[in-house]
Amino acid sequence: MPILLVPKIWFSWIIILILSIGMPNVLLAQDSLRVSTADQNFEAIIEDFIQNRELDDPDFDFNTLLEHLEVLQEKPLVLNRASKEDLQDLELLSDVQITALLNYRKEVGDLITIYELQAVPYFDLATIQRILPFVRIKGGLDDFNVSIGEMLYEGKNEIFVRWQRILEERKGFTPLEEGETGSRYLGDPNKLYFRYRHQYYNRLSFGLTAEKDDGEEFFAGSNPQGFDFYSAHLFLKDYNKTIKSIAIGDYAISFGQGLILYSGFGRGKGAFALNMKRGGRTLRPYTSVNETNFLRGAAATVRVAKNLELTAFGSIIKRDGNIISTDTTDLEEAINATFSSLQTTGFHRTPNEIEDEASIQNISFGGSLKYKRDNWYVALNALSNNFDRKLTRANQLYNKFLFQGDQLTNVSFDYGYVYKNYNFFGETARSDNGAIATTNGLLIGLDRRVSVGILYRDFARDYQVINANPFAETINGFNERGLYIGTEIKWDRNWSASAYFDTWQHPWLRFGVDAPSTGYEYLVRIDYFRKRKSNVYFQLRSETKERNVSNNETRLDILRPQRRTQFRLHFSNIISKSLELRNRADLSYFDDQINPQSSGYMVLQDIIFKPTGFPISITTRFAVFDTPNYNTRIYAFENDLLNSFSVPAFYLRGTRFYINLRYKGIRKMTFEVRYAQTKWTDLETLTFFDGTSESLSTGLNQIDGNTRSEVKCQIKYSF
């Protein structure tokens, strides 16, 4: 991009920004659309999630993250009867706010009107507006005697069919040239998705999900049955006072604070500084297409006594693994071959990927016994993982304390206790080698406007676990010790602020870090919210962590603190009942104390047009980015098709454009199409890996050119 073009882009963006803020208020009708604060809150949560996970978990699937909110729009949650788990399932309230609401109901009695929420401590105007579409004050008692037949007859059916494709030709779909060795994708470049689901509110759910990634075969080769991945589930909740939930097929289990098992969406550090406590229901249906983050079998939660609940589960599933090949034809040795790691990408496009497919059988079982009272609970959890082959990791020093073998057992104790404005929680876990991991936290409501959270974690370097997902710097659940402090302040009806500081150390080596290391991170965010009009926030985020640094004068890579700092200014403004504008500017800096400091920026403009009384709605974005390398990358949430999300990382120099069209002119049907294109102005050949990479080099996703274009189409049919 020519340097002279940058001031023009900034000038154009500033003009648009001034117009979007300064539009006369007379354009706003009394029933004008509210700022979609719920959507924007989830956007921030997902952006933070991706940025925290980075290379650790690039394949997390968000496709069904907000499904429960769609159900609540049809049958809102009754606040006067909602349990703590119900309120946690909203994903829109902090535990401080949930505790405040439950205490208010206990001390004052049932809410009379929705406006009474303003009297509940820690509930500001933005929070109330955020939850309004999904809650109500009164409602009839749930009928536990609704028959399965009634649920089947009165439930809602949905069918999704989606197709998507990258338009440019990639190297993996071209034939091998003469004399060239290597592999190619065996399937076509189309990505296909199908889902059927029947749902009776949040009580009954069953369905089938299927997906084929681009490059995978379809009704051929390794997939003669059609799609590469199938998932089916049957889930029944609150059938009666004894049976709390039953799951058959694919399901998700989450225990405590995630030290032994947490297969749901676990938030990380981010703008919502007090969302550090894991919670919600233990057992959930699984309807996503992530091919690793679920269990397959049967599970149930039952009430065994007045205050006692038991969850038990069993699972048998085939997982992808790197089989360690042997140079022998001996059948017994081949059968007893080991594997070096579990694969999590879910891709089966090349002969090597297909060889790893479903090569490991994982049998797991366990349970949780929880005793609950009004303001406290304790639970005992257990999990056993068994593999039909032994896990033998690479002979690297950072692998010294990691689990190896074919059987691993974990047990844990978790608790929660609420006393007035104090909310204590935590979990302590043990692996069968005797190592301990513990995390303990406290949420405090200091007064009606100020809340504070503190969390300390200590995961031994030799604590062994497979399915952990705690609130921490890394998701592994071992080899970390740290202290997190967060706060949220509500100054008045319009202004609020949040901040956190987290410091940690890793007692042992990690991949890419060849010595014990330390780090710290902080974030400050200031929000201005104007009812039915606008939302503005400024955010500063800085992270410093020790990593290996190359290009130094020593013969070996050495550890140096690497600092990433990002600034963001974001505006959302409703111009009319049908039109909303969103503007954003991001600045990013990186310094490793050896190589020259680098910096970059991104500016974007979103237009959201949803005319009333007209069947077509439009969402579009134009963004300009200029960052010199992957270290200065900037993440930006993108609106996508229904039940689909994307959070690309922008780096190098270029532009990004997308447009989503949604048509609802036919009863019970929704048609959607999306076109997106990224153009790099200083590249001739592009290579995109199935995750993230610090360099653009050779690979099967290489494109001869400087653009990457993608088109998606989707049909939703409800009946």
pLDDT 10s digits, 492-519: 888 999 999 999 999 999 988 989 999 9
Ranked by mean pLDDT, which of 131-135, 252-256, 474-478, 637-641 comes out on top?
252-256
Is residue 627 within 8 A of residue 30, CB to CB? The reply is: no
Is residue 439 within 8 A of residue 257, CB to CB? The reply is: yes
| Phi (first) and psi of residue 271, to 5 degrees | -65, -25
Q: In angstroms, how far apart are the furthest CA atoms of the chain? A: 82
Lowest mean pLDDT among 57-61, 157-161, 233-237, 339-343: 57-61
Residue that is written with structure tokens 């889902």 in the block: 195
Residue 143: exposed, middle, or buried by beta-carbon count in 10 A (0-12, 13-18, 19+)? exposed
Residue from 361, 318, 347, 316 nearest 228 by CA: 347
Is residue 648 within 8 A of residue 692, CB to CB? The reply is: no
Lowest mean pLDDT among 207-216, 225-234, 632-641: 632-641
Per-residue pLDDT, averaged over 550-554, amounts to 66
**Residue 643, Cβ neighbours under 10 Å: how many?**
21
Is residue 388 within 8 A of residue 377, CB to CB? The reply is: no
pLDDT at 236: 93
In sign, the C-alpha dihedral spanning 344, 350, 352, 354 is positive
**Residue 697, Cβ neighbours under 10 Å: how many?**
10
Mean pLDDT of the chain: 84
pLDDT at 684: 65
* pLDDT band of 409, cuts 50, 70, 90: very high
* pLDDT band of 385, cuts 50, 70, 90: very high
* pLDDT band of 65, cuts 50, 70, 90: low
pLDDT at 15: 39
Per-residue pLDDT, averaged over 627-648, amounts to 86
Is residue 449 within 8 A of residue 414, CB to CB? The reply is: no
Separation in Å, CA 220 to CA 211, 215, 216, 278: 15, 12, 9, 43
pLDDT at 551: 67
**Which DSSP letter does residue 566 get?**
E
pLDDT for residue 212 is more than 80: yes
Lowest mean pLDDT among 46-60, 99-113, 311-325, 435-449: 46-60
Residue from 527, 610, 544 nearest 574 by CA: 610
* pLDDT band of 676, cuts 50, 70, 90: very high
Of residues 317 and 705, more confidence is placed in 317
Is residue 307 within 8 A of residue 371, CB to CB? The reply is: yes
pLDDT at 314: 97
What pLDDT, in 10s, does the model give residues 74-92? 778 888 888 887 887 777 7
Q: Judging by DSSP bridges, how do beta strands 135-136 and 77-78 pair with one another?
A: parallel
Is residue 655 within 8 A of residue 678, CB to CB? The reply is: yes
Question: What does the block give as tokens for 466?
Answer: 């497979």
Residue range 77-136 in CATH 3.40.33: no
Identify any residues that bridge with 578 across adjacent strands, giving them in sequence order.
none
Lowest mean pLDDT among 22-36, 46-60, 181-195, 275-289: 22-36
How far is it, in rounded angstroms, from Cα 84 to Cα 106? 13
pLDDT for residue 137 is more than 90: no
pLDDT for residue 122 is more than 70: yes
**Residue 420, Cβ neighbours under 10 Å: how many?**
10
**Where are the chain's structural domains?**
77-136
* pLDDT band of 485, cuts 50, 70, 90: very high
pLDDT at 58: 41
How far is it, in rounded angstroms, from Cα 168 to Cα 184? 16
Grouping H, G, I as helix, E, B as strand and the rest as coil, residue 427 is strand
pLDDT for residue 374 is more than 90: no
Residue from 368, 370, 380 nearest 412 by CA: 380
In sign, the C-alpha dihedral spanning 514, 520, 526, 529 is positive
pLDDT at 644: 76
pLDDT for residue 470 is more than 90: yes
How far is it, in rounded angstroms, from Cα 626 to Cα 634? 10
- Find the distance separating the first CA and the last CA of the chain, reported in whole Å: 50
Of residues 315 and 647, more confidence is placed in 315
pLDDT for residue 63 is more than 70: no
pLDDT at 50: 62
Please, which residues have CB within 8 angstroms of residue 409's CB and are 6 or more apart in sequence? 382, 383, 384, 385, 431, 432
Helical ranges in 54-176 per DSSP H: 67-74, 84-89, 95-108, 125-131, 148-154
pLDDT for residue 337 is more than 70: yes
Grouping H, G, I as helix, E, B as strand and the rest as coil, residue 360 is strand
Lowest mean pLDDT among 38-47, 420-429, 479-488, 700-709: 38-47
Residue from 565, 709, 553, 546 nearest 627 by CA: 565
What pLDDT, in 10s, does the model give residues 292-334? 889 999 999 999 999 999 999 999 999 999 988 665 555 555 5
pLDDT for residue 35 is more than 80: no
Separation in Å, CA 466 to CA 171, 368, 617: 35, 18, 44
Beta strands in 320-477 (DSSP E): 321-323, 339-342, 360-372, 376-391, 405-419, 422-431, 436-445, 450-459
How far is it, in rounded angstroms, from Cα 19 to Cα 25? 12
pLDDT at 129: 78
pLDDT at 147: 80
pLDDT for residue 197 is more than 90: yes
Taking only Cα atoms into account, the Rg of the chain, rounded to an integer number of angstroms, comes to 26
Question: What residue type is 202 in one-letter code?
Answer: N
pLDDT for residue 417 is more than 70: yes
| Phi (first) and psi of residue 475, to 5 degrees | -90, 0
Share of the chain above pLDDT 90, in %: 51
Query: CA torsion angle for 608, 611, 616, 620 (degrees, to 10)?
Result: -10
Ranked by mean pLDDT, which of 173-187, 213-227, 686-700 comes out on top?
213-227
* pLDDT band of 145, cuts 50, 70, 90: low
Share of the chain above pLDDT 70, in %: 84
Identify any residues that bridge with 309 across adjacent strands, giving them in sequence order.
303, 370
Grouping H, G, I as helix, E, B as strand and the rest as coil, residue 109 is coil
What pLDDT, in 10s, does the model give residues 567-614? 999 999 888 888 999 999 999 999 988 888 999 999 999 999 988 888
How far is it, in rounded angstroms, from Cα 320 to Cα 344? 7
Is residue 686 within 8 A of residue 705, CB to CB? The reply is: yes
Query: CA torsion angle for 640, 645, 650, 656 (degrees, to 10)?
Result: -10
What pLDDT, in 10s, does the model give residues 221-262? 999 999 999 999 999 988 888 999 999 999 999 999 999 999
Ranked by mean pLDDT, which of 21-25, 29-33, 191-195 comes out on top?
191-195
How far is it, in rounded angstroms, from Cα 606 to Cα 580? 8
Residue environment code for 511-525, b if the CB has 16+ CB neighbours within 10 A, otherwise e: eebbeebebbbbbbb
Question: What residue type is 525 in one-letter code?
Answer: R
Grouping H, G, I as helix, E, B as strand and the rest as coil, residue 89 is helix
Residue from 681, 573, 667 nearest 626 by CA: 681
Of residues 171 and 483, more confidence is placed in 483
Give this prediction's pTM: 0.86
Per-residue pLDDT, averaged over 452-469, amounts to 95
pLDDT for residue 487 is more than 90: yes
What pLDDT, in 10s, does the model give residues 421-455? 899 999 999 999 999 999 999 999 888 889 999 99
Of residues 54 and 716, more confidence is placed in 716
What pLDDT, in 10s, does the model give residues 263-277? 866 678 888 898 889
Residue that is written with structure tokens 């879910």 in the block: 346
Residue from 718, 124, 700, 183 nearest 448 by CA: 124
Question: What does the block give as tokens for 270?
Answer: 């981010």
* pLDDT band of 142, cuts 50, 70, 90: low
How far is it, in rounded angstroms, from Cα 271 to Cα 540? 10
pLDDT at 10: 44
pLDDT at 549: 79
Residue from 103, 98, 71 nearest 84 by CA: 98
pLDDT at 686: 63
Lowest mean pLDDT among 136-140, 478-482, 579-583: 136-140
Residue from 646, 598, 650, 661 nearest 623 by CA: 650
